[in-house]
Amino acid sequence: MQDTVVERLNKLHLSLPHSKSPAASFVSAQIVDKLLFVSGTMPIGESGPLWKGTLGDNVSTAQGQEAARASTLLLLAHAKAVLGTLDRIRQCTRLEVFVRSTPDFEEQPKVANGASDLINLALGDKGRHTRFAIGVAALPFGVPVEVAATFAID
């Protein structure tokens, strides 16, 4: 018998944060037909941003990967809140990773690996996905990373 997604996360000593409704005019996640779209998530905890800054300036690539991982945990929490269980996910089809970075920073794909690696560990073969990682000048609240996803669901 295969482990559930939450059991796999627990084995990694990871737990999903609390999924809150956004403070703006959109929803955290939405089902359309057999697809689940999860809005951009940032590395934000109960007391605010877990990281602030810019890759290539005051945030290292390793810190950016951790920020991407934290963003992805929140993304999975939003998915679970809508689906009831992450085991309804058939496939992660796409990750979109925005990296706040200086113009000369070129390691956006390495930062995005923090999100990709977590999705692959959590979902196993169902985590294989397409992806883009793009550098941007600014993100809300000064965070270094924002991650969005699309999932095929049962």
The tens digit of pLDDT for each residue in 21-48 reads: 877 889 999 999 999 999 999 999 989 9
Q: Give how far the C-alpha of residue 64 lies from the chain's centroid of Cα atoms, to the nearest Å.
A: 12
The tens digit of pLDDT for each residue in 110-119 reads: 999 999 999 9
Q: Which fold has domain 5-14+28-153?
A: 60s Ribosomal Protein L30; Chain: A; (3.30.1330)
Helix, strand and coil in the chain, % to nearest 5? 35, 30, 35
State pTM to two decimals: 0.95
71: helix, strand or coil: helix
Q: What angle do CA 115, 4, 51 make, to 5 degrees?
A: 25
Kindly state the average pLDDT of the residues 3-18.
Answer: 90
